[in-house]
Chain A
């Protein structure tokens, strides 16, 4: 059982997201994260879903996804050379000048950007892989994380290979 990143190319039609997510819940697969948006092809969208399962389960979920009429192509990025990124915004409590400078220092080390600063909070934005974001979150917890939001992972294959139509 390990996380798999599935890249799913779909018709950009009403209801397509609920077809895809409904299939996961109906067949008992948990979604760890989900990111969706338009893509290079007009009329299509690309969904990246991270889910955990053994190889047989992942194979089954991919086959079931492929059966959806609005799903054009499904690929498991896991096991291939790939780049994956996730973006998170973290709102941290600052209660003293000391903690403010500590937080800024941590941000610098993680190459996180400050996107908002108020009298009582700082909002940091970080891009990276899941582990990096997790690590930053853990460090910031001691100051008080008021709110955290993550986009869910997106990914693509390295080099010229693509996840394109033609099942």
Chain B
């Protein structure tokens, strides 16, 4: 005889779960009691949102499914932002919530909220479990759904009487999950692959536009092989950074709103756009009808609904990005003959590099560059949201996939610190930096408590400009410098750290950047760096909202 709570823990173990992030409460008491002497490692966060982000960070860094746990009502509702963040970036997590007993469901009982209803639009699937005997199957399905096809979050809501309920006999575990409504396509359609190969062979100015899908499908090897064999330049989205080394000669860096000028020029002039694991997001495309206006488009993605959603394409290929790129590489016979095109791009790169004013003042771009040099592509960089995120995307040289962890689709401030905790448990061998703004860090600053308690060696580098910098930048550029509610009073983050028992230093001069970063790296355990940067530094270049990608401002021409 086993309780539902026991079945849950066993189910998690069978799925290979080692670490879960959670926060207890009334209806999950039976589950917590079972956790008390289980081999699962449970990390007690300080807010359920952080549990969801930590599970998400764990998943992004490891490629495995992350798990978080919360109580009903307020606990479950606090997970929602984290679940939505994972959903927008297709990150596999399983969120487990407690629920009021089945007899009280729908009664507005104490701490009841309809969390399956609330999360329906932000989960890949969710379950309200009505009896303990269903738990083993539901857990197996949830992990399968979260981790396969286009990954995403799955929520399992477990009423208290289901956790305490007992089962006499356990059904044997099925070897594989079969769901008649869920059969992802992994292999590309042969005729479409033929057509793609033909277009690649005929193109004169091809460009690969690679996104998070390449990272998610662990396809960066295939991507690099393809572009090296054919000598095709590559631009990546924010989520695709790291899919090809930042310093690879064929890499043009990020495209879109804060992309490099040469990447945006290349998209505007290419005659073939090979879009892999991307979704033509508006932050990438700018004005849609001027995006890749001269190009035929090949679009490879595992989600058929992404193909043709925003932009008509010429060759749709549904399937796993890695499989399909691998097959294209094998079948492409010739190497590419795109010399004039590559020369042209080289010219743009030379004439329009990313640049900032390095005048001895403490500028954020310099800090990121120094960190990049110090870590030499080792380590995992997590970010918050805003200017800090964009400067990191622009100036950090990511050399490997899964070393750049950021909330792209939802752009969730407060994501970085808790996500870094998950990253650490996924890759304990790696140095983990959270690059933060002073606004974002205060959205989940309570997690200083968690990193202090577990001595999680996350280094928090706050690019402190005493503004909600990205919003202030838009007000400066597009709202006549009317800084409406974007100024933040100075906060002494080192002191806050001290209160939690975390060491830190404040850095006010450019000359101290290197040594401060080194101190952070060399100090065991967590560390806080409070960089007092130039307050009104902007992220440039920028494609103004609604403009075409080649109409960037703040680039090297202006």
Contacts and interface: CB of A to CB of B under 8 A. Distances in A.
A137 interface: no
B340 interface: no
Contacts of B145: 69
A68 B181 contact: yes
B524 interface: no
B304 A18 contact: no
B304 A63 contact: yes
Given A68-B181, A71-B181, A22 B305 contact: no
A98 interface: no
Most A CB within 10 A of own CB, among B116, B125, B181, B309: B181
Given A22-B120, A69-B125, A167 B304 contact: no
B180 interface: yes
Interface string B162-202: 00000000000000000111110000000000000000000
Given A72-B181, A165-B180, A167-B183, A67 B121 contact: no
A69 B121 contact: no
A63 to B, nearest CB: 4
B308 A11 contact: no
B25 to A, nearest CB: 24
B314 to A, nearest CB: 15
B121 A66 contact: no
Interface in A53-68: 56, 59-60, 63-64, 66-68
Contacts of B258: none
Interface in B118-166: 120-121, 124-125, 128, 145
Interface in A15-74: 15, 18-19, 22, 26, 56, 59-60, 63-64, 66-72
A19 B120 contact: yes
A108 B331 CA distance: 69
B303 interface: yes
B308 A56 contact: yes
B39 interface: no
Most B CB within 10 A of own CB, among A60, A67, A165: A67
A60 B117 CA distance: 23
Interface residues of B, number: 18
Contacts of A71: 181
A14 interface: yes
Contacts of B120: 15, 18-19, 22
A14 to B, nearest CB: 7
A66 B304 contact: yes
Contacts of B116: 15
B121 A26 contact: yes
Given A11-B181, A15-B116, A63 B305 contact: yes
Contacts of B117: 15, 18
A60 B180 contact: no
Interface string B312-347: 000000000000000000000000000000000000
A60 B181 contact: no
**Interface size grouping (class) on chain A:** 20 to 34
Contacts of B121: 22, 26
A70 B179 CA distance: 9
B525 to A, nearest CB: 42
B529 to A, nearest CB: 41
Nearest to B141: A69
B139 to A, nearest CB: 15
B97 to A, nearest CB: 15
B125 A59 contact: no
A64 B121 CA distance: 12
B177 to A, nearest CB: 11
A127 B183 CA distance: 38
Contacts of A56: 308
Nearest to B179: A69
A67 B303 contact: yes
Nearest to B130: A14
A14 B128 contact: yes
Nearest to A64: B305
Contacts of B182: 69
Nearest to A65: B305
B305 A60 contact: yes
Interface in B35-62: none
Contacts of A10: 181
Contacts of B180: 11, 72, 165-166
Contacts of A15: 116-117, 120, 128
Interface string B286-313: 0000000000000000011100110000
A60 B183 contact: no
Interface string B241-276: 000000000000000000000000000000000000
B183 A67 contact: no
A31 to B, nearest CB: 16
A14 B102 CA distance: 14
Instruction: Across the A-B interface, give the 7 residue pairs with the lowest CB-CB distance, nearest first.
Output: A63-B305, A69-B125, A72-B181, A69-B182, A69-B181, A63-B304, A64-B305
Interface of B: 116-117, 120-121, 124-125, 128, 145, 179-183, 303-305, 308-309
